[in-house]
Amino acid sequence: MSRRRQLSDEEHALWSGLVRSITPLRPGKARIERKTEPKTALKAESKSVAATAAKALQRAVTQQEPPKPPKSLPLAPFDRRLKQRVARGRDAIDARIDLHGMTQQEAHDALLRFLRRAQSDGAKVALVVTGKGTGTGSGDPARERGVLRRQVPLWFSLPEFRLFVGGFEEAHVGHGGHGALYVRLRRAR
């Protein structure tokens, strides 16, 4: 949609403020200048509004948001057929780790080292045993046990784990059920 009328003085002040705040990509390009002369007698009120708007626009341009970090690799859902083949023993589990009895920090570090090593060894599927936790039965999640069971899936969403984990799914009952996860590893780059 094009504008058929001339820019008002306020709009021109805003535009010129914007043009002054931008650094050209290629030096030497011609500047866009106003074809008509501005009115000589603007009301004092219009001048202050135009100046305030130009300053606000210039501040907004100079205070841009910092660049966002690159997106980490997405997690893909675990393929149903692959899960069935692993659960039935047709596809081997290439690596296993048991996190029982570890603190969260110990488990986090051990899991990261394990996944890094498994990926470099060419493993495709790993089994991570977190344990089910005993639970207090009170229904309060803050007092409930089984911390690693809840935390490990959250860790897999972190960028440091995304380099290694392509997807994960709860393991079959024969491999630990609720207390274990099948993890599909990404290929080493």
Q: Given pLDDT bands bounded at 50, 70 and 90, which one contains residue 116?
A: very high
β-partners of residue 128 are: 97, 181
pLDDT at res. 117: 93
Instruction: Tell me what the mean pLDDT of segment 89-114 comes to.
Output: 90
Domains, the chain, ranges and CATH? 9-62 (no CATH), 80-185 (3.30.1370.110)
- CB 109 within 8 Å of CB 121: no
Q: Which of 77-81, 91-95, 115-119 has the lowest mean pLDDT?
A: 77-81
pLDDT at res. 42: 47
pLDDT at res. 41: 45
- CB 78 within 8 Å of CB 184: yes
Q: Which of 70-84, 88-102, 116-130 has the lowest mean pLDDT?
A: 70-84
Instruction: Report which of residues 116 and 58 the model is more confident about.
Output: 116
**CA-based end-to-end distance of the chain:** 49
In tens, the pLDDT along 158-189 reads 888 888 888 888 888 888 888 888 888 888 77
- CB 183 within 8 Å of CB 175: no
| CA–CA distance, 127 with 103 (Å, rounded to integer) | 19
- CB 152 within 8 Å of CB 128: yes
In tens, the pLDDT along 27-58 reads 665 555 555 545 544 455 556 666 776 676 66
